[in-house]
Structure 1
Amino acid sequence: MSISRKRVIKQRALEILLRLKRLYPDATCSLNYETPVQLLVATILSAQCTDERVNMVTPELFRRFPTAHDLAEADSDEIERLVRSTGFYRNKAKNIQAACRMIVTDFGGTVPRQMDALLKLPGVARKTANVVLAHAYGINAGVTVDTHVKRLSRRLGLTEQTEPVKIERNLMELLPQADWENWSIRLIYHGRAVCNARNPACDRCQLADLCPSVDLTKVTPPSPPAMILPQ
């Protein structure tokens, strides 16, 4: 890619970021949690599941097992029962308990603050690690790439990659580090509210003029100026 094209894409990304901040000024993580380990668990549960469903499940889960020690020593069948409605519950329960056991044995019961350490935990990839670091510790180590971020970043012409790690790398080059995580959250909000997968509402999208994928058939062109007849 030429330097001039990279510059154009970077300028587009920065303008999109500015507009997203204006559109969703109060956007924040929609998962409910009180501690880093609870955020870790909620994020693991959010895979292939809505945040709303996770927030329905976690109050009872965290009431019964509020800490990493509690989850590490819990009956696995009970964890499965409590998280069943989030889907893939056996694998999620297994990863949650294994991660908490490692947190207890290897990290003194505290969720680590380093990306490489987090990635050693069962069930934790960069998406989960980025969420935990940003929202539990205020550390922007990368850009969270979920299905919304992947889809919209490609639609907006900010990346041609299909693998989350490569998309993340592209976005990190385009955006200021301080905005890496709030970019993801606001793009997720926009994906849910406007740019959904099957039927994006291009006609009411505030990013339409910046989007190379815009469906022009959905966008109403501005009315021509009224003709003023001579008196």
Structure 2
Amino acid sequence: NKVKYLKQTSAVLQRDFGGDIPNSVEGLVRLPGVGPKMAHLAMDIAWNQVSGIGVDTHVHRISNRLGWFRRPTKNPEETRKALEEWLPRELWSEINWLLVGFGQQ
């Protein structure tokens, strides 16, 4: 699967981005195997631009267990949107690393 993604990604990068890596969430999610979580994390790490919260299963599970939402969210993308509604933007970069580390313990 990863080899397939790498080959496909190489073709997309050459064809659509002139061989460069896109520097937007919209561009990154066009790459095979890249979803919103990885796109937001890449924007933060590679370009120092906080575009959103990278929510994985750990962040999704812990956020719901802590009761941070009126209604439990059903998936990581729904959790991301709900977190971004109330969590101050200056904490978006940190929250993923804190909760993923906590969730893996």
State yes or no: 1:190 paired with 2:93. Answer: no
- Secondary structure of the residue aligned to 2:104 is helix
Where in structure 2 are there 5+ consecutive unaligned residues?
none
| Partners of 1:104 and 1:139 in 2: CA distance | 24
Aligned to 1:33: none
| Partners of 1:100 and 1:181 in 2: CA distance | 28
State yes or no: 1:145 paired with 2:35. Answer: no
Give 1:178-217 correspondences, 5 Å limit: 178-193=90-105
Aligned to 1:203: none
* Residue type at the aligned position of 2:36: R
Pair member with larger Rg: 1
| Residue number among 65, 74, 96 corresponding to 1:162 in the alignment | 74
* Residue type at the aligned position of 2:84: M
Aligned to 1:93: 3
- Secondary structure of the residue aligned to 1:129 is helix
| Partners of 2:10 and 2:88 in 1: CA distance | 33
| Partners of 1:154 and 1:98 in 2: CA distance | 35
Q: TM-score, normalised by structure 2?
A: 0.89
Shift of residue 142, structure 1, vs aligned partner:
1.1
Calculate the aligned-residue CA RMSD, in Å: 1.3
Shift of residue 181, structure 1, vs aligned partner:
2.3
Deviations 1:11-60 (A, max 9, x none): xxxxxxxxxxxxxxxxxxxxxxxxxxxxxxxxxxxxxxxxxxxxxxxxxx
* Residue type at the aligned position of 2:99: L
| Partners of 2:67 and 2:103 in 1: CA distance | 15
Shift of residue 100, structure 1, vs aligned partner:
2.1
Aligned to 1:60: none
Work out the number of aligned pairs and report it.
103
* Residue type at the aligned position of 1:168: R
Task: Report sequence identity in percent.
Answer: 34
| Residue number among 85, 88, 96 corresponding to 1:173 in the alignment | 85
| Partners of 1:100 and 1:136 in 2: CA distance | 18
Where in structure 1 are there 5+ consecutive unaligned residues?
1-90, 194-231
Q: Which runs of 4+ in 1 moved over 3 A?
A: none
